[in-house]
């Protein structure tokens, strides 16, 4: 399993409008090959938004990075200071601490 954390700030877009956009896009994300789960993030006090993506493996994450959907987010004019970090999951200790997405 592989985890990707993406963060950004909104530019000329209200949090309310951003939330509506996320609600509209959720089903599209649900159909991405290799995506196990996405957790949508919002911190209104710091103006930071984003997502935690749980991928089947690093290859699935890399394949998603080649899609039109990924490009539309990466180049969206209302998202700024975009950062993306990815991590391999340490499955042994994650299983012990009840990491819900690691298979038993």
Confidence of residue 102 (pLDDT cuts 50, 70, 90): low
Give which of 8, 28, 71 is closest to 38, Cα–Cα: 28
Please tell me the pTM assigned to this model: 0.90
38-63: per-residue pLDDT in tens? Answer: 999 999 999 999 999 999 999 999 99
| CATH 3.30.70.100 matches 2-96 | yes
């Amino acid at each position: 399993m592989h985890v990707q954390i993406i963060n950004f700030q909104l530019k000329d877009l209200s949090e309310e409008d951003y939330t509506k956009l996320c609600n509209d896009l959720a089903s599209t994300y649900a159909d991405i090959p290799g995506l196990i789960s996405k957790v949508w993030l919002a911190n209104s006090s710091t103006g930071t938004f984003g997502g935690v993506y749980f991928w089947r493996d690093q290859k699935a994450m890399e394949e998603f990075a080649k899609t039109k959907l990924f490009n539309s987010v990466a180049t969206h004019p209302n998202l700024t200071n975009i950062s993306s970090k990815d991590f391999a999951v340490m499955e042994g200790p994650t299983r012990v601490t009840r990491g819900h997405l690691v298979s038993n």
